[in-house]
Amino acid sequence: MASILSNNYSQPTQTASQPQDPMATINSLIEQVMRSGDPKATFNQVVNNIQGGQNALDLIQQYGNGDPKAAFMNYAAQQGRNALAQQIMSSMGLSK
């Protein structure tokens, strides 16, 4: 993923027995976008270089009118997975 951002992006060291924390990866990407000279262009570059990135943005727009949390909850409700969605949100400290 380092190549999708800039040369000064450093990804935490990862071993085969110790997978990287997904939240740490997300936080690193957010930090990189926010620190860039042109956050919008950097964000678009990230989205275009992540497989399914544009599809994710489309789903956020469709199910949450641009609000990722609402999209997640609305999509889960449509799939009949409210309890699982609440569990995930709670584990991430994002409960209602």
pLDDT at 17: 58
Examine residue 73 and state whether it is found in any structural domain, yes or no: yes
Examine residue 7 and state whether it is found in any structural domain, yes or no: no
Examine residue 59 and state whether it is found in any structural domain, yes or no: yes
Spell out the long-range contacts of 82-87 with Cβ–Cβ below 8 A and sequence spacing 24 or more: none
DSSP 38: S
CA distances from 29 to 40, 50, 58, 76, 94 (A): 13, 12, 19, 25, 19
Residues with pLDDT less than 70, the chain: 1-19, 96
**Under 8 Å between Cβ of 4 and 49:** yes
Examine residue 2 and state whether it is found in any structural domain, yes or no: no
pLDDT at 92: 83
Examine residue 58 and state whether it is found in any structural domain, yes or no: yes
Provide the number of structural domains found in the chain. 1
pLDDT at 94: 80
3-class secondary structure per residue, 58-93 = HHHHHHHCCCHHHHHHHHHHHCCCHHHHHHHHHHCC
pTM: 0.59
Examine residue 16 and state whether it is found in any structural domain, yes or no: no
**Under 8 Å between Cβ of 89 and 95:** yes
Examine residue 52 and state whether it is found in any structural domain, yes or no: yes
pLDDT at 18: 61
Examine residue 9 and state whether it is found in any structural domain, yes or no: no
The domain in which residue 85 lies consists of 21-91
Axis crossing angle, helix 39-49 with helix 22-35, rounded to the nearest 10:
140
